Chain A
Amino acid sequence: MHERIDRLPGSLVTSDQDEALEREFELRLGECSTLAFRVAYSVLRQREDAEEVAQEAFARAHRSFRRLRDRERFRAWLVRITWRLALDRQRSDRRRLRREQVVVHEPINDSSAGHERAASLWQAIDALPEKLRLVVVLAGIEGHDMREVSALLKVPEGTVKSRLHLARQRIREWLS
């Protein structure tokens, strides 16, 4: 743990309590970095942009980490911060692109079966309302089950189930 603290040379470690907080944050950072990146990527579809947003989300979380009473809620907290930041970034990018009148083709994930198929899937996901989209994305990241998605979104499992069903139905309709 102390080795990890050494990786944050700029941190203001002023007491044992602060040091413990830094250690805990470092632990959470290691656990949730991919999750934050994928949440941002699901919105932005640009690796560099997603990394920047995830970095910003971690910086904000670090700033307010002391105020987080229930540390077990860190994942849900980070997901919400990242999702909001990614949406803000997406809106500002779209405004900028509209001003510059540049047509940008979003890159397609190379790991998918085919570019066209992946592009269609992304279009279908993007067409979903925000609530349905977030459920689909979180369910598709790291194999989250209903209980985990419910905990991340702070909504009942039944709500997650119905939203997911509706979202998949719309995606299928879009793809067909």
Chain B
Amino acid sequence: MSDRISGLESRGSGLDGPSTDAALEREIENVLSVDPSAEFLARVRARVSADPAPSRATWYLSWMAATAAVAAAALVVAVYVGRSPSDTSGVPASAATSVVGTDPSSAPRQTARGEASAQLGAGSPTADRPARQQLRVEPASTVPEVRRQTFPEVLVSAAEVKGFETLLGRVRRGDLTIAIDEESADSVEPQEPTDLVIAPIKIRPLDSATVTEGAEE
């Protein structure tokens, strides 16, 4: 109590107010010197008893639960962030129609070379072999993200899809028999690509070009 609060002298006092800080302090102490009722301590003890402190075991359990929750949240975030956007095709998600193969073995990875070969063989009878592959048409927005990674989307116009489905339906029902004319098939067989020969470019020496320009001037 070396630095007693009442030590400060009042700088100014009102007409009715206390003249010193000590007097004011005494007044404040008086109005604050209210003791709780006799039963107060017993009631506090009863209240504390009714609201027991967590024991060491529950304390650790709560910490374990909190840690597990945080770990689960971190895992979810890691999985979400870990999805590389490059895995999905470059086709915008808002594409009108997407065709998803259900047979993983018959669903090759979609690459530029694959697209080119598909276009080359589009007119051949061998190109009709995917008829064995079941095709399902879904709106692009309803395709789950994981499946989109496994089976890349291929854009096909709605009319082609409808025609292809009609064809498949008729083949299944037996309304249509596909006969392949081997001769025409051979004739349609694409030719082996020949080497493209490009003549080397000849460049005139720089000196002669300068001379020529000067001569023209």
Residues on A close to B: CB < 8 A?
7-15, 17-18, 21-22, 25, 29-30, 33-34, 37-38, 41-42, 47, 50-51, 54-56, 58-59, 62-63, 65-66, 109, 111-113, 117-118, 121-122, 125, 136-137, 139-141, 143-147, 149, 157, 161, 164-165, 168-169, 171-173, 175-176
Contact = CB atoms under 8 A, between A and B. Distances in A.
Interface in B12-54: 12-18, 21, 24-25, 27-37, 40-41, 43-45, 47-54
B55 A14 contact: yes
Contacts of B52: 10-12
- List the 8 closest A-B pairs by CB distance, nearest first: A176-B14, A10-B49, A140-B28, A175-B17, A37-B36, A14-B55, A172-B17, A12-B55
A63 B51 contact: yes
Contact of B34 (A9, A111, A146): A111
B4 interface: yes
B interface bracket (residues with beta carbon within 8 Å of A): 35 or more
B87 to A, nearest CB: 46
Contacts of A50: 36
A173 B53 CA distance: 47
Contacts of A175: 14, 16-18
B53 A12 contact: yes
B34 to A, nearest CB: 5
A122 B34 CA distance: 14
A44 B47 CA distance: 20
B78 interface: no
Given A11-B53, A146-B3, A121 B14 contact: no
A9 B36 CA distance: 23
23 contacts: A10-B49, A14-B57, A18-B56, A22-B53, A30-B41, A33-B36, A38-B33, A38-B34, A47-B36, A59-B47, A63-B51, A113-B30, A121-B27, A139-B5, A140-B25, A140-B31, A143-B29, A144-B5, A145-B3, A145-B4, A145-B5, A175-B14, A175-B17
B31 A121 contact: yes
Contacts of A21: 53
Given A12-B55, A121-B27, A172-B17, A137 B32 contact: yes
A136 B36 CA distance: 20
Nearest to A14: B55
Contacts of A56: 47
B47 A58 contact: yes
For B12, B16, B29, B32, the residue with the greatest tally of chain A CB atoms inside 10 Å of its CB is B32
Contacts of A165: 8
Contacts of B57: 14
